[in-house]
Structure 1
């Protein structure tokens, strides 16, 4: 009897040790990649994006971290926070209708969402008949933390994939730079405007809030994505957990060189007058654009309105801009408010 118990105990310990190694060394992600999931597609080769007509109709661009963007995410968050998702937030099901209404009011051509989950949750706030979705799928598993959407009628997709923000950028679902940390990625799509032929890279991302992860994420983003703006138009949305007055921001955006690789839409809109608390130097959500085609912005704003009952819609404000490709837009000293 004792012999059998020892064998069972040894087997259990061996299984636990194997599980620990698999988790720590990202074994299950590697197995999934080799057995059908595949490794991440490489980013577009900018040299193959030929010189083009740098003109297109204005691009309405929006970025919004919706906070716990599905019932599944909200339930998980509550589990790890003693049954509450936060201090004073209303459930996702209560906030969802007004979030959908708020996004629709801007009619964005390009939309970057953060803290989203499964496809159904995304399509609950953005019409699947109007927008095409880029998100990560592995079989039936869906991970839409940095969901990227574009108007189907306007854009032709040429390529799309994810860059994983960790030590193994090509390994899908790769953990962050600190072992067993949150999985983050930069979602990208190479799009062509159907009417003008204007071709550009649209990127949406959500950096981790821990410095041990977001510092190297900024470096990786600069090396892999921002550098592409030297040869092709790039538009970026995201929650970078980084204010615009930091070295990390200058690094990932490429504003530490002249001319800047990417510029904040706030700057492209001729730095409209805003309250100090709304200035990019105090905010962590950004829209950026750059490349060989000149960009300007007709409008830049943060929508700080709460829900109709006065409660917060999210712990982030929706960020919106109208980008102009080609000749600079007329300066908007007092851009229209929502």
Structure 2
């Protein structure tokens, strides 16, 4: 009997050793952090920055796209999040002026292979260019990241215009075109504040071709609020909108989707709530 038990144990150990490792998971976040506005009073950035950093660390974001960061905010986060590196430029001049849409990634998990920026305009390589009927300069920051196991992903982060309908529509067209030309067959993640609700033409345009999926609809599990923008709680809850998104292609299985609380430790994180998505690679190595 002992010999049978030993044989069974040996067989199980052999099968366990031979079984392929499960594909790893990836925690992705999109987070509009609200620009440093002196008129925000108790919700000004200087009162929120530590909470923002804690929320990122508590939720173990592996890579995240941020929106609306001014240079001083970017520098604060670089100091508060020493385990992360980032890439991005200011939208007004391609250097340090104006809002950034940076991509942050955990340095213990990823190395940066490539990155770049383009403006959502008729002249996407021209720094500071406004597009179509847009009220502001808008840009996208893209990266190619490789994890320690050799898997590579294409991650792109953006912020669509809050006024221009044509700018949002044409901006999406440009984003989809650039994703196809830049991703190199790698799994794709697109994050951002799209200033549009899920039923809008803007979001229908993103998912309409079947190239990308809204993670909320694709997730095995969903939790959190149905909205992501509360304007620091000033909008009545029934009127709040979902305008922040994580989209992925078929390189990932969406394990869970969650709109996180927009408060922590009794104070607001931002006028937006962060969105956290847990992804799993479909293949053990891409």
5+ residue gaps, structure 1, are 1-54, 76-83, 328-338
1:63 to 2:30 alignment: yes
**Structure 2: how far apart are the matches of 1:191 and 1:231?**
13
**Structure 1: how far apart are the matches of 2:264 and 2:144?**
35
Residues 98 and 65 of structure 1: CA distance in aligned 2, closer, same or farther (over 3 Å) = same
- SS of residue matched to 1:141: coil
Taking the TM superposition and a 5 Å limit, the aligned residue runs for 1:162-173 are 162-173=117-128
TM-score by length of 1: 0.66
The aligned residue for residue 276 of structure 2 is 320
Residues 94 and 274 of structure 1: CA distance in aligned 2, closer, same or farther (over 3 Å) = closer
**Structure 1: how far apart are the matches of 2:145 and 2:55?**
25
Over the aligned positions, Cα root-mean-square deviation in angstroms equals 2.9
8 A Cα contact 1:114 1:239, kept in partner: yes
The aligned residue for residue 122 of structure 1 is 74
Tell me how far 1:237 sits from its aligned partner.
1.0
Residues 139 and 204 of structure 1: CA distance in aligned 2, closer, same or farther (over 3 Å) = closer
Taking the TM superposition and a 5 Å limit, the aligned residue runs for 1:1-338 are 56-68=23-35, 70=36, 74-75=37-38, 84-85=39-40, 90-118=43-71, 120-126=72-78, 127=80, 129-136=82-89, 141-178=96-133, 181-195=135-149, 197-210=150-163, 211-225=165-179, 231-251=185-205, 253=206, 255-257=207-209, 260-270=210-220, 272=222, 276-277=226-227, 282-291=241-250, 293=251, 295-309=252-266, 311-326=267-282
**Structure 2: how far apart are the matches of 1:186 and 1:139?**
11
TM-score by length of 2: 0.77
**Structure 1: how far apart are the matches of 2:77 and 2:268?**
17
**Structure 2: how far apart are the matches of 1:213 and 1:139?**
19
**Structure 2: how far apart are the matches of 1:313 and 1:108?**
16
**Structure 2: how far apart are the matches of 1:159 and 1:237?**
18
Deviations 1:118-169 (A, max 9, x none): 1x52242354531111111669735552111111121121110112111111
**Structure 1: how far apart are the matches of 2:180 and 2:243?**
18
5+ residue gaps, structure 2, are 1-21, 229-239
Count of aligned pairs between the two proteins: 249
Tell me how far 1:100 sits from its aligned partner.
1.5
**Structure 2: how far apart are the matches of 1:139 and 1:319?**
27
Tell me how far 1:184 sits from its aligned partner.
0.9
Residues 128 and 312 of structure 1: CA distance in aligned 2, closer, same or farther (over 3 Å) = closer
- SS of residue matched to 1:67: coil
Residues 274 and 90 of structure 1: CA distance in aligned 2, closer, same or farther (over 3 Å) = closer
Tell me how far 1:213 sits from its aligned partner.
2.1
Higher-Rg member (1/2): 1
Residues 56 and 89 of structure 1: CA distance in aligned 2, closer, same or farther (over 3 Å) = farther
Deviations 1:1-23 (A, max 9, x none): xxxxxxxxxxxxxxxxxxxxxxx
8 A Cα contact 1:226 1:262, kept in partner: no
**Structure 2: how far apart are the matches of 1:56 and 1:272?**
21
